[in-house]
Amino acid sequence: MRGDFLNVLKEHGYAWGPVVGDGPPVDPGTIAHGTTVLAMKYRDGVLVAGDRRATAGNLVMHDRTDKVLDLDRHSVLAIAGVPATAFEMARVLDHSFKYYRRSQLQELSLDGKLRALSTLLRNNVPMAVQGIGAVAPIFAGYDLATGSGKIFFYDILGAEFEGVEYAASGSGSPTIRGVMYYLHRWGPQVIAQLDATDATVLVLRLLESAAEFDSATGGIKKGDDLYPVVKLVTSEGIAPVPAEHLQRLYAEHVENRRV
């Protein structure tokens, strides 16, 4: 018997969902999951990106999911896991940050934002261990106090880890982490010194590589005008990279390019 709550119920004969015709019960245990997200430091701050696919088991539920959510002017949450849980966490954080700013007449510190996210994840542990609400997000922000971009990633229990140069989460993250480690260790240029254009090209290549080896990671579809969500977090705030710019960079630097 596996410890997943849904599987425990199944193994005890509980039938999920209604029966359609004479077929087997529909299984809502295949809850939608979002994959894959990453964050990396570049010359002016932090670049955060995510593919657009949400899956449920072996089904593609949606191919236009936004997994990079603004929390305030200088911080974003990139979600990997159950979107329903992650979206609610983002709404709670957005409200909390606004309340603090309006009541205290100042921004909540970066440490305060990190603790708030850890608390939400810790409170979500019962859902996570039941297998129906796990989220493993990446928090990225620009710390005005130090004048630098920051990246933090979490496990489903709320443990916080700082990604010194980069972080990735979701089912496609092993491929991305492997390539990022290689480039950071032996690449021709330190990743954190890339400008916004070169960093965006790298992210497009990373997500296409992840999609090649992970079916849950959505690739780039030119015909459908479907590109990842890419956002730049700098001292000036959050700047989404327009789809038209991604389209041009993909055509010039990713598609059919071998070197």
Contact partners, residue 100, CB within 8 Å, separation at least 6: 107, 108, 112
Among 30, 35, 85, 146, the active-site one is 35
Q: How far is CA 192 from the centre of its chain?
A: 20
Report DSSP state, residue 14. Answer: P
Residue with tokens 């570049």: 42
Contact partners, residue 48, CB within 8 Å, separation at least 6: 37, 38, 39, 68, 76, 78, 138, 140, 230, 231, 233
Q: How far is CA 50 from the centre of its chain?
A: 5
Separation between Cα atoms, residue 248 and residue 131, nearest integer Å: 40
Quick check: helix, strand or coil at residue 70?
strand
Residue with tokens 């940050």: 97
Q: Which helix (H) or strand (E) holds 181?
A: helix 173-186
- Residue pair 221/52 in contact by the 8 Å Cβ criterion: no
Examine the residue annotation and report whether 35 is marked as an active-site residue of this protein. yes
Number of C-alpha atoms within 13 angstroms, CB side, residue 229?
24
Quick check: helix, strand or coil at residue 202?
helix
Length of the chain, in residues? 259
Q: Which residue type sits at 25? A: P
Active site members: 35
